[in-house]
Amino acid sequence: MRWDWETPATEAEAEALQERIWDLHDKLSHAILALSACAGLPACRCRGAPNGHVVVKGQRPPKGGGHVDLAAAAAAMADARGLHAIRAALEDLEGHLHFLRDVQLQQRADQDAAIARVQQSRILLAARLAEHRGKGHGVIEEALGFVGDVRDKSQFVSPEDVYGTHSQSGEDEEDRRGHGSNMVVL
């Protein structure tokens, strides 16, 4: 699977990416273990012999004074370290993809909240315009045409709840209207 890194992933694409990353991570881990075993030097189990030869724990050096091929073992370990660095970079990519998904989810939530606030403001404006309908102001009808008419206000949150204008002090509704949103002055 190849992903276009410039465009946001859908939920299914993000899940497929995660599975692909896990699969690659497992394959890299197996390759690192195979290189370590192939070199004949299990990780952290080799030690130097008094005569300068390398002795692998649990194995005896070959007869005739032979020794473990250090060049091959060093090359295998270098490859294993390289694969380990690749695996670490893959883990870093995975972390950044998680961060990207979190940001995308937060942006969606913020967008939904902003759309809800815009809708509530539109409803409030339409309700206030409806109160003045028929009073001979042409701009009222024009504004109602712009925001749309709200026929059934009972399905929506009241403007007072939306803007938090309930007062504990008992001031009356006419006083509060002057202190609310200044978006529309009628």
What would the pLDDT profile of 9-33 be if each residue is shown by its tens digit?
788 888 888 999 999 999 999 999 8
Which residues of the chain form beta strands (DSSP E)? 46-48, 54-56
Is pTM beyond 0.75? Reply is no
> Quick check: is 183 in a domain?
no
| pLDDT (mean) for 124-150 | 83
Structural domain of 166: 124-177
Q: Are both 54 and 108 inside the same structural domain?
A: yes
Q: Are both 23 and 104 inside the same structural domain?
A: yes
- The per-residue DSSP string of 130-148 comes to HHTTTSS-HHHHHHHHHH-
Q: Which residue has the tokens 């599975």?
A: 19
Q: Are both 113 and 153 inside the same structural domain?
A: no
pLDDT of residue 2: 65
Q: Which is more confident, 156 or 69?
A: 69
pLDDT tens sequence across 35-77: 887 666 544 444 444 544 444 445 555 555 445 578 888 888 8
Q: Choose the final residue of a domain: 118, 136, 157.
A: 118
pLDDT of residue 46: 45
> Quick check: is 90 in a domain?
yes
Question: How many domains is the chain partitioned into structurally?
Answer: 2
Q: Are both 15 and 92 inside the same structural domain?
A: yes
Q: Are both 134 and 64 inside the same structural domain?
A: no
Q: Which is more confident, 153 or 27?
A: 27
